[in-house]
Amino acid sequence: MRAVIIGGTGHVGTYLVPRLVETGYQVICVSRNTRQPYQQHPAWKKVSFETLDRTQLESQGLFGRAILNLSPDVVIDMICFQEQSARMLVEALQGKIHHLLHCGTMWVHGHSVEVPTEESQPRNPFGDYGIQKAAIEAYLLEQARKHGFPASILHPGHIVGVGWNPVNPAGNLNMEVFRKLATGEELLLPNLGMETLHHVHADDVAGGFMQALKYWNQSVGESFHILSTKALTMRGYAQAMASWFGQQANLRFIPWQEWKEGVSAEDARITWDHLAHSANGSIEKARHLLHYQPRYTSLQAIQEALQWIRNQGKL
């Protein structure tokens, strides 16, 4: 079986491509070839690389045809952010492939009503990214259910892995937050620290994609959350990390308006997105239908990533 992965050298592809190769897929990795995977693995020697710029080819209406020309049985789309992009791919691949797996996001849910959020809940997305991802999901599910297009959608949470910074207990990517927890310095958190973050190890995301391929008849026409077993409150996350560093957390809680004045505009923007979404999803559907079982808890995934950062002398 030939698997074409669009955007295969990123966070998820780093773990997914070796898994595909080891399972026996002939893997073709599509990217602009501007970066390498976060970790090397012998399996990459068996991968064919295809240098394509999706944005450029889409503007010429040629991207779908370019993917079809790679003769895929399976297409894994890691970098689809607009409904129009999904349409172009589906129109080119209809009737020609065995399976399309689309990488979505928990942010299709926007504001949840009940938590842990289940896939069946009505979508209330906000922000361009979440709104577009929800539109893609709705389009692909309609294509699958009405027209038999073999699409599955997988929604990861905050992806963690070795080689990049995890979303921290203040809901942004600033390593200063972890440094304060590691040294026992006071850390200011917005509100009461009871909003939630839902991380997932990139290797568990890769595992979810593999399970969706394996259980094709259960996964086609469906979307699944691919997460660690449980979300973290920001306060609980901060306390657990301080203790991992051998410290007592020294936390102080202040109102959002005051908190955001004390950080950069970029940190405030990223934190606000995480607070407002407060991801907290259920993985029961993936467990039941795909036999998905994450190997890492949220804290284990984060601690593995931080241990690597520490070993690099960057914390």
- Binding part of the chain for ligand NAP, among 50-58, 140-148, 174-182, 307-315 by CB under 6 A, reads 50-58
- Told to check if 7 binds ligand NAP by CB under 6 A, we report yes
Identify the three-state secondary structure at position 41. coil
Residue type, 258: E
Q: Do 286 and 155 form a contact (C-beta atoms < 8 A)?
A: no
* Sign of the CA dihedral with 308 first, then 315, 271, and 132 last: negative
> Which residue number, 55 or 311, has a Cβ lying nearer to ligand NAP?
55
Among positions 23, 33, 124, 264, the unique one binding ligand NAP when judged by CB under 6 A? 33
- Told to check if 283 binds ligand NAP by CB under 6 A, we report no
Q: Which DSSP letter does residue 46 get?
A: G
Q: Which DSSP letter does residue 117 get?
A: B
Q: What character string, x for contact with ligand NAP (CB under 6 A) and - otherwise, covers 125-164?
A: -------------------------------x-xx-----
**Do the bridges between strand 196-197 and strand 232-233 make them parallel or antiparallel, or are there none, so unpaired?**
antiparallel
> Which residue number, 53 or 73, has a Cβ lying nearer to ligand NAP?
53
- Told to check if 66 binds ligand NAP by CB under 6 A, we report no
Helices (H), the chain: 13-23, 54-59, 63-68, 83-93, 128-147, 176-183, 202-214, 216-219, 234-244, 256-261, 265-277, 284-290, 298-311
| Dist CA 89 CA 66 (whole Å) | 10
Among positions 9, 152, 196, 218, the unique one binding ligand NAP when judged by CB under 6 A? 9
Longest CA–CA span in the chain (Å) reads: 59
Q: Within a 13 Å sphere around the CA of 69, how many CA atoms are in the beta-carbon half?
A: 8
Among positions 3, 4, 10, 72, the unique one binding ligand NAP when judged by CB under 6 A? 10
- Told to check if 78 binds ligand NAP by CB under 6 A, we report yes
- Told to check if 40 binds ligand NAP by CB under 6 A, we report no
Among positions 55, 69, 71, 183, the unique one binding ligand NAP when judged by CB under 6 A? 55
Size of the site for ligand NAP (CB under 6 A): 23
Among positions 20, 21, 28, 54, the unique one binding ligand NAP when judged by CB under 6 A? 54
- Binding part of the chain for ligand NAP, among 5-13, 181-189, 217-225, 229-237 by CB under 6 A, reads 5-13
Q: Least distance in Å: CB of 198 to ligand NAP? A: 10
- Binding part of the chain for ligand NAP, among 8-16, 67-75, 82-90, 189-197 by CB under 6 A, reads 8-16
In the numeric block, which tokens belong to residue 7?
């955007």
Among positions 27, 85, 92, 105, the unique one binding ligand NAP when judged by CB under 6 A? 105
- Binding part of the chain for ligand NAP, among 7-15, 111-119, 257-265, 268-276 by CB under 6 A, reads 7-15
Buried b (16+ CB within 10 A) or exposed e, 179-197: ebbbeeeebebbeebebbb
Q: Do 44 and 114 form a contact (C-beta atoms < 8 A)?
A: no
The contact set with ligand NAP (CB under 6 A) reads: 7-13, 31-35, 52-55, 78-79, 103, 105, 156, 158-159
